[in-house]
Amino acid sequence: MHNIAVIGTGYVGLVSGTGLADFGNRVVCLDINHDKIDLLNRDGLPIWEPGLQELVRKNVRSGRLRFSTDITAEIREADMVFIAVGTPSGENGGADLTTVFSVAETIGRALNGHKYIVTKSTVPVGTGARIREQITRYAPAGSSFEVLSNPEFLREGSAVYDFMHPDRVVVGAETEQGRAVMREIYRPLYLIETPFVFTNLATAELIKYASNAFLATKITFINEIANLCDGLGADVHVVAKAMGLDGRISSKFLHPGPGFGGSCFPKDVRALSAIGEAVGYDTRLLKAVTEVNAAQKLRMVEKLRRLLPALEGKTVALLGLAFKQRTDDVRESPALAVIAKLREAGARVRAFDPVAAETMKKIHPEITYADDMYECVTDADAVMILTEWNEFRGIDLARIKQLMARPVMVDCRNLYDPAGVRALGFQYACVGRESYSEKLS
């Protein structure tokens, strides 16, 4: 059993800290934000993540999980310190490491004895070495430490499951002692033969960026194919299914839609491009991914314009605000781009999301928010489905047609069959199969 201090209580820090506690370690999750720690100590959560509340309560009751703002004191009591703070995009698209290095300084000043410092935050290649330099600058005589890299691969909405059932655990370590201690804290995973990838710091740091950039590229690729299908009368769902049956490709992330968003893919693609620029390499593919993804979000409004050309003064109902289902995260969500474009065109925007409405209100307090999907579409001139929440898959289409001022639907997540919706009298647009049923008839 190890005494672990996790600095940062966002998605990565809170889920990772709770998971490590569930693996039998003693964990304290730390943050300088007193409100977040007070909330956690009152049995609340600063984030919405399925299954996390129950896991936190279980490990708090067991005495393995605590929360504190006394960062220096808790670092001194720990034998391992995880850095799990945010690394947002900077001005040039690269990761802003201000908080990471501030934490490194704090760790250096608090060092007593030997400690393992583990970077969980997503950081550019070479950051581990810079963290080592920063800690060394402030470390008192007689202290010692090793810096390791342990990138996270958590999907928002499935983060608890992903921590407990990872495809692999990546560890960047320079010594056998470092590798051994990581096997110990992840012992339950090691015992069930979860693949462990041990490498050096630079390689571990790059694996994270390469993985996210590839998945973002795959999403962008199938959206490009979907846009071609719209013009050719082909069905992107059939194309994606056939592609996915090829073992070299697989079916994962071949789901067309309004473009990717969230806290990871957009900033990690930009950051990897910035890393390329730093070493004199032009990452043209990654830059294209960013450009195409931004255009895809706006393309959803163009689909609406083809059905409802004059948007000024019209009411558009948006179903879904989160960048994907099972999260309240709206960072770089397609809904942000759609709202901005609709308001620019003079449309009135009304929105509903099962969990993300409160988050979006902080960004767009000026639009109208509904309490349920049927209130949202009442008297609307058009409805756009932007998030693939399961409850949107079972909408009573006949009912919303009666409630709406005009039966216009843009299904940005392809939740419905085009022919079936049009048979009910809707003007309907989707992604990558708009004219497929017409070509068959």
User: Encoding tokens for residue 179?
Assistant: 């590798």
CA angle 425, 429, 431 (to 5 degrees): 145
**Known active-site residue 264:** yes
For the chain, count helices (H), then strands (E): 19, 14
Burial class from Cβ neighbours inside 10 Å (0-12, 13-18, 19+) for residue 441 reads exposed
Four-point Cα dihedral 225, 427, 350, 332, nearest 10: 0
Distance CA 25, CA 17 (A): 9
**Phi/psi of residue 49, nearest 5 degrees:** -150, 120
The Cβ of residue 179 has, within 10 Å, a number of other Cβ atoms equal to: 17
Alpha helices, H only, 245-381: 265-278, 284-307, 334-344, 357-361, 373-377
* Amino acid occupying residue 353: D
SS3 404: coil
Find tokens 């655990």 and name the residue.
169
Q: What is the β-pairing status of strands 427-429 and 65-68? A: unpaired
Under a CB-based contact definition with an 8 Å cutoff, are residues 323 and 298 in contact?
no
SS3 321: coil
Under a CB-based contact definition with an 8 Å cutoff, are residues 155 and 215 in contact?
no
The residue annotated as part of the active site, out of 29, 229, 264, 412, is 264
Find tokens 């600063």 and name the residue.
46
CA 417 from chain center: how many Å?
28
Bridge partners of 118?
A: 82, 148
Q: What is the β-pairing status of strands 382-385 and 368-369? A: unpaired
Q: What is the largest CA-CA distance in the chain?
A: 80
Active-site residue list? 264
